[in-house]
């Protein structure tokens, strides 16, 4: 019995249309989650994020445990109240960020001892402590602590890493605080090795989770390899549980992964690109610093209904970028997040009509037309 309700409504090939219900509201899947690392989606108000169509956001356990601290967030009534986001929140376990602290962390079977990138203070992140932190944050979807296997890794290295993640997954499940409308996701690891991925799936199914994430991808292996790993992994996951591809990605990644059976995504790309004057559009990616935009009176995307495209021209956004004005980051982040939500809405409609393959072809053709700048 799951603490989260997942209602599958329609299937088109391997793609799935569904509703994931939590204590803080429903999420239409396939879904993209904006990343609110430190309790904020960068350059955006929560109200603006909601206006893009986002129904769930992601918070980061590692960053929030360091600043302001889980106890302080709990004092304010949890992350929803602290940051004024009433909808569902997923928090990652902190494992990926800790693994990125090369030279500042020491791993053992118990967990990871690491030094804060902020002040050098020492911390010990264990599966049990990660569950405690995420509970204090009042996260609707808690992620099991795992070790994100680096790329490249030998098969033996990937196996050792995956098996440790599976032991940590069991400890995470044992330490989780089950409540109605709150769930725990396990994370599939195993690098690019199909047998290890399948072994990881079987281990997680034996523990039983409310949802299953595919981790350790989009770390340098390339889209072709990522899609192959998904094709080798997803058919073995429980059919009646949501599937989450962590840290992905580009629009073409989302379309391809949905067609392989993924239900949920997160990525910093829309807002990070917005802060570097890059825009996503139906014509591909645009570099708004490019001089050809300076006298352009059109919006970023003629078909876009976001706040930015309804109010501002390419020429003005180009000007903001050259002046390094903060407003430029806000307007582009707003547009990019809206574009991602528009893409997911289009995918959901296509699945409901049994037309996802045609949608994917039209998407690819649009991205391949002119007016594309490299990022």
Q: Note the pLDDT of residue 375.
A: 38
Q: Where are the domains of the chain?
A: 5-267, 275-367
Report, at the CATH architecture level, how domain 5-267 is classified.
Alpha-Beta Barrel (3.20)
> Which residues, in sequence order, are bridge partners of residue 290?
none
Q: Note the pLDDT of residue 374.
A: 44
Cβ-contact 39, 64 below 8 angstroms: yes
Residues with a catalytic annotation lie at 92, 266
Q: Note the pLDDT of residue 250.
A: 96
> Taking the CB of residue 37, how many other CB atoms lie within 10 A of it?
17
Q: Note the pLDDT of residue 369.
A: 59
What CA–CA distance (Å, rounded) separates 248 from 340?
12
Give me the average pLDDT of each 10-residue run along the chain (375 residues). Answer: 94 98 98 97 98 98 95 98 98 81 83 89 94 98 94 97 97 98 98 98 98 96 98 98 97 98 98 97 94 97 97 98 98 98 98 98 83 47
Which runs of E-coded beta strand occur in the chain?
5-12, 15-22, 25-29, 31-33, 57-60, 89-92, 105-107, 112-115, 122-125, 141-143, 183-188, 211-214, 243-245, 264-266, 278-281, 284-287
């Amino acid at each position: 019995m799951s603490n989260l309700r997942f209602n599958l409504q329609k299937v088109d090939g391997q793609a799935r249309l569904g509703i994931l219900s939590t204590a803080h509201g429903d999420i239409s899947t396939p879904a993209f989650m904006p990343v609110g690392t430190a309790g904020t989606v960068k350059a955006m108000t929560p109200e603006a994020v909601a206006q893009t169509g986002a129904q769930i956001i992601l918070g980061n356990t590692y960053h929030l445990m360091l600043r302001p601290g889980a106890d302080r967030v709990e004092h304010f009534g949890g992350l929803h109240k602290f940051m004024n986001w009433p909808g569902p929140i997923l928090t990652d376990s902190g494992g990926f960020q800790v693994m990125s602290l090369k030279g500042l962390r020491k791993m053992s079977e118990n967990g990871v001892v690491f030094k804060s990138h902020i002040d050098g203070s020492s911390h010990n992140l264990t599966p049990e402590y990660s569950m405690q932190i995420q509970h204090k944050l009042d996260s609707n979807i808690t992620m099991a602590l795992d070790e994100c296997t680096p790329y490249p890794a030998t098969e033996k290295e990937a196996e050792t890493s995956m098996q440790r993640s599976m032991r940590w997954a069991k400890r995470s499940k044992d330490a989780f605080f089950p409540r109605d409308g709150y769930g725990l996701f396990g994370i599939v690891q195993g690098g690019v090795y199909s047998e290890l991925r399948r072994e990881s799936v079987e281990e997680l199914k034996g523990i039983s989770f409310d949802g299953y994430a595919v981790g350790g991808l989009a770390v340098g292996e390339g889209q072709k390899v990522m899609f192959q790993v998904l094709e080798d992994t997803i058919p073995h996951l429980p059919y009646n549980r949501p599937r989450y591809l962590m840290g992905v990605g580009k629009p073409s990644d989302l379309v391809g992964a949905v067609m392989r059976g993924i239900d949920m995504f997160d990525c910093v790309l829309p807002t990070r690109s917005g802060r570097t004057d890059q825009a996503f559009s139906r014509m591909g990616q645009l570099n708004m610093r490019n001089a050809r935009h300076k006298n352009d009176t059109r919006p970023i995307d003629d078909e876009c209904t976001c706040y930015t495209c309804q109010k501002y021209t390419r020429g003005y956004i180009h000007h903001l970028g050259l002046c390094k004005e903060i407003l430029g980051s806000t307007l582009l982040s707003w547009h990019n997040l809206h574009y991602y939500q528009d893409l997911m809405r289009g995918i959901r409609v296509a699945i409901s009509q049994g037309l996802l393959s045609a949608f994917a072809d039209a998407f690819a053709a649009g991205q391949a037309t002119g007016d594309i700048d490299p990022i």
